[in-house]
A and B are shown apart, each in its own frame.
Chain A
């Protein structure tokens, strides 16, 4: 399968713990996006990378969230000191360039107890 992959698919954690998610984009896609999706809502933009550079970050993203894309390949999204409000599906998508079609991964479902 050469699509976008995400790991883990599910994560249950206790409030206050740190969690890290990984996204492997389609190879040769230089843009990588992270989104958060809650029940009954569309994906909400968090941040995106062009190669290894983080170009935009949502103003809604608190300082507890950080993302990296070393070497411009896979990306990680870390949430520190998780809160119950962080419970959501975290989606990753990649695209070849600009506003082109984004290819989405299966998501990581996070539950914070």
Chain B
């Protein structure tokens, strides 16, 4: 069974600071990778995803993530955060083929000070 680890549970930044949230997974096969975001009072929504191809993927609102297969990592980055990025961020893994059972990390709470 796969597992997902998000190392930073709480991150506090000032506006314009750079962001990197870590995500590592364990699984023996090929995976599809996702970052979801949950803004206060809103539904979980997709930020970006990686299925195959270019390991650097770009998502909405200036976010990007890089898949490093050798490190089993899919870290989320943003060069300059805004107050509106305050939210909960979840990394998720779904195995390619087979059962498609998703596994989510426990999430990282990001607070951006204006």
Chain A residues close to B by CB (< 8 Å): 3-4, 31, 33, 35, 40-45, 48, 55-56, 58, 91, 93, 98-99, 101-107
Contacts and interface: CB of A to CB of B under 8 A. Distances in A.
Contact of A44 (B36, B46, B94, B104): B104
Given A56-B101, A106-B43, A99 B94 contact: yes
A30 to B, nearest CB: 12
Interface in B86-109: 90, 92, 94-96, 99-107
Given A42-B6, A99-B51, A99-B96, 6 more contacts: A31-B100, A42-B4, A42-B90, A45-B102, A45-B104, A55-B99
Most buried by A among B4, B43, B103: B43
Given A99-B32, A99-B51, A101-B49, A43 B44 contact: yes
A105 B44 CA distance: 8
A101 B43 contact: no
Interface in B24-41: 32, 34, 36
A104 B45 contact: yes
The 8 closest A-B pairs by CB, nearest first: A42-B104, A104-B44, A99-B94, A99-B32, A104-B43, A43-B104, A101-B46, A42-B106
Interface of B: 4, 6, 9, 32, 34, 36, 43-46, 49, 51, 90, 92, 94-96, 99-107
A48 B106 contact: no
Contacts, number: 56
A42 B107 contact: yes
A85 B94 CA distance: 27
A48 B101 contact: yes
Contacts of B103: 45
Contacts of B104: 35, 42-45
Contacts of B101: 45, 48, 56, 58
B53 to A, nearest CB: 15
A14 B104 CA distance: 30
8 contacts: A4-B43, A31-B100, A41-B106, A42-B92, A48-B101, A98-B100, A99-B51, A101-B34
A45 B34 CA distance: 15
